[in-house]
Amino acid sequence: MDQPRIFHIADDQVDARLDARLRELLCACFTQPQDAVFRARRFFIQPPGHRWCLEDGATGILGAHVAVHDRLLKSGERRFPLAGIAEVCVRPAFRGRGWARLLLREAHAFMAARGAAFAMLFGRAEVYRSSGYVPVDNPLRFFNHLTQAWRTEVKQGAMARPLSDLAWPSGELDLGGPVF
């Protein structure tokens, strides 16, 4: 069996062919009405800095994807480099092979080497626990792209994972922009 091929690409280096492949994958994986944005663009709210993709070794089909936003998490006067994980997906025909976990491991290693203290995402604990994520219940300040206003709330599905030896901060946290 051919090994899957993993590659990293900065989002600003995505060409038209890869853009079309990414949008097709995202549309195949995200099927809720709000996910229709992927027909027109390869990101939900704003472009990430980085992408990790996995192609099936036998077919060359783009089978899995992880996007990462470079952020600065603010906790009072403290600042923490943050890897905002988004658009994690595996094409339905390829699920159950550990591909999301494999891509997350690659993204975590890359972002840790760049100095990120934590990775954060919004998802289901039963999916991301095996990649080291734990639920967090901090009030989060973020920019709501729908209302065009700043908002603070405890976000359902908020999860974090250390990428350093720092402990996750307590209290209210500022994401410095929209959720990812």
Give the model confidence (pLDDT) of 52-65 as tens digits: 999 999 999 999 99
Q: Which of 86, 70, 94, 69 is closest to 122 using CA atoms?
A: 86
Proportion of the chain above pLDDT 90, given as a percent:
98
Residue type, 150: W
Q: Indicate the pTM of the whole model.
A: 0.95
pLDDT at 109 over 90: yes
pLDDT at 5 over 70: yes
∠ CA 135-126-39, nearest 5°, is 95
Domains and CATH numbers, the chain: 5-174 (3.40.630.30)
pLDDT at 1 over 70: no
Structural tokens at position 53:
């993709």
C-alpha–C-alpha distance, residues 5 and 15, integer Å: 18
C-alpha–C-alpha distance, residues 77 and 71, integer Å: 16
pLDDT tens-digit series, residues 149-177: 999 999 999 999 999 999 999 999 999 99
Region 20-47: mean pLDDT is 96
Q: Which of 14, 40, 11, 9 is closest to 180 using CA atoms?
A: 11
Q: How many residues make up the chain in this entry?
A: 180
Dihedral sign of CA atoms 132, 127, 69, 60 in order: positive
pLDDT at 2: 84
- Greatest Cα pair distance in the chain: 52
Mean pLDDT of the chain: 97
pLDDT at 71: 97
